[in-house]
Amino acid sequence: MADDPEEGMLGWDESVFRNEHVFEIDYLPETFHHRDSQMESLKYSLRPAVRGSRPLNVIARGPPGTGKTTAVQKLFSELRAQTRDVQAVRVNCQVNGTRYSVFSRLFEGIFDYEPPSSGISFKRLFEQVTDRLVEQEQVLVVALDDVNYLFYENEASDTLYSLLRAHEEHAGAKIGVICISSDLDLDVIEELDGRVQSVFRPEEVYFPKYDEPEIVDILGERVDRGFHEGVVSAPVLDRVAELTAESNGDLRVGIDLLRRAGLNAEMRAAKSVSKEDVEKAYDKAKYIHLSRALRGLSDSEAALAAVIAEHSGEQAGDVYEAFHEQTDLGYTRYSEIINKLDRLGIIDATYTEVEGRGRSRELTLNYEPDAVLERLE
């Protein structure tokens, strides 16, 4: 009898995934490996909050995808389970890049509903947050995730000043701050105003890149929880880990790569993921940094990224002409956006000598133009 051609193939109602949510960006793993010393340092800094005192401030630094956000989220979850006397609120500064929007998220975290979208001043918003903390005798721990975005928008000093000096405005207010930054070129302390430097004085917790064995260990657990048994073999997992290590050890690349490879296997109606599924998936997963950076851009910033994609390698003055035609924005704002795109790693803006024009910045895209334009659509 001839072999059944459909044997070993997925049925319409079957999936290679046991739990696809394991590969989503907001998934919080039950176990958190290879970050014991960082967790202990964070606990040490926040322990005073449990006793009703102001916690130590912290800067959590490290390359992207090294567990900084996960560490803080797990610690905040433990705090909430242990006591009601501590309010722990994480703010995504890529989305909330102004002092007002940061305090709006703090208001929402404390009151469990959003503040009015208009008609309330920052002073009033600030007072309502601090009044509630004093009234409930609670300590507030704020995690400013991707705090580098506040620096890109020149909002960092004002935001931290309001948080760290809240007790001067309202006696009894106790607030501690964790700044999470993936921009290793950003010196958080040096970039702050002197009035903030004098009161911030943070502990520093560094999150290094994961090495390849650590990546295999962590992704292996995701595989066990997210896929059915036998879907991802050891050689396939090793290849995923290898590609992740090549992507600066960013675990988010590896996690996204596993999900996309699983979807590729399902598209073939296969019951297991092949190395070819992984290689094909990597063509998209490797752009996870780019996609994340582009998502946080305003319309004018995205417009300039698109213009540079079409004029990569040209001088800043020439690029400005094309940008100004589209947006009608002035050169000062244009220069500010260049600096932001440069710090985000989307472009390189390097000074060169131009004959007859002196020094000028050459704007070069760090990605394939099509990859940028496709993700801006």
pLDDT digit string, tens, across residues 208-223: 999 999 999 999 999 9
**pLDDT (tens digit per residue) in 92-125:** 999 999 999 999 999 999 999 999 877 799 999 9
Residue (of 352, 359, 363) closest to 306 by Cα position: 363
- 35 annotated as belonging to a binding site for a ligand: no
| 3-class DSSP assignment, residue 29 | coil
- 66 annotated as belonging to a binding site for a ligand: yes
| 3-class DSSP assignment, residue 317 | helix
Residue (of 79, 62, 281) closest to 179 by Cα position: 62
Q: Is the dihedral of CA 237, 243, 245, 248 positive or negative?
A: negative
Residue 358 has pLDDT above 80, yes or no: no
Query: Domains, the chain, ranges and CATH?
Result: 36-206 (3.40.50.300), 210-286 (1.10.8.60), 299-376 (1.10.10.10)
- 130 annotated as belonging to a binding site for a ligand: no
What pLDDT sits at residue 2?
A: 43
Q: In whole angstroms, give the CA distance from residue 40 to residue 58.
A: 13
**pLDDT (tens digit per residue) in 49-92:** 999 999 999 999 999 999 999 999 999 999 999 999 999 999 99
Task: For the chain, give the mean pLDDT.
Answer: 93
- 69 annotated as belonging to a binding site for a ligand: yes
| 3-class DSSP assignment, residue 342 | helix
Phi, psi of 326 (to 5 degrees): -80, -40
**pLDDT (tens digit per residue) in 160-198:** 999 999 999 899 999 999 999 999 999 999 999 999 999
% residues pLDDT > 70 (the chain) = 97
- 222 annotated as belonging to a binding site for a ligand: yes
Binning pLDDT at 50, 70 and 90, where does residue 1 land?
Answer: very low
